[in-house]
Amino acid sequence: MLPGIHIITANALALNLTKNPIGGLLLGIVFHHLGDILPHKDLNVFQNYNEISIKQLPKNLKLFLASELSIGLLFSFIYFILFFKKSFLLFLFISLGAVLPDLITIFFKKAFEKYGFGRRYINFHKKFHFKLKDKSFKTILLLQIYELFFIILSLIFFHLSNNFV
């Protein structure tokens, strides 16, 4: 799943569950893995990537990734911070948690793989990436609908939990 969707859904799900930034960071990580488990698109929709590596990405995909991330961040900032006046610090920590598993896998894979636990974690995380083999238009459209559905469901959760907290 791409980073912008991770940020929107993690904030929608976590912002009303804690006031503690560290709690927000941990929830962000948990909701990242939840998002990864659900059917989703990865960058290998466009080309054959089996590893999460920024270096091997062509320029246009890097640009796409940066735009998707910016849209996700901007939408979340306007929606949760400007409209719903949620804590900016909490938002920052949840957003960091929401992309942290991918950041670790991209930038700190070697360091993590030195340790048994780190290796198990990287393998656990990678299990849910790049699963898409059928890249037909129909499949990609279906995944797009799934992802939109996940965003809408998490926003509904945000509104329901907003009334209770």
Residues that bind Zn ion (CB under 5 A): 36, 101-102
Question: Cβ of residue 125: shortest distance to Zn ion, in angstroms?
Answer: 6
Rounded Cα–Cα distance for residues 110 and 22 (Å): 25
Q: 53: phi > 0 → left, psi -120 to 50 → alpha, else beta; which?
A: beta
Our CB check for Zn ion shows the closer of 86 and 94 to be 94
Question: Cβ of residue 32: shortest distance to Zn ion, in angstroms?
Answer: 6
Our CB check for Zn ion shows the closer of 16 and 102 to be 102
Our CB check for Zn ion shows the closer of 92 and 104 to be 104
Measured from each CB, the residue nearest to Zn ion is 36
Our CB check for Zn ion shows the closer of 24 and 35 to be 35
* Residue 149, CA distances (Å) to 116, 118, 129 in order: 36, 32, 19
Question: Cβ of residue 30: shortest distance to Zn ion, in angstroms?
Answer: 12
Contact between residue 35 and residue 128 where contact means Cβ atoms under 8 Å apart: no
Question: Cβ of residue 102: shortest distance to Zn ion, in angstroms?
Answer: 5
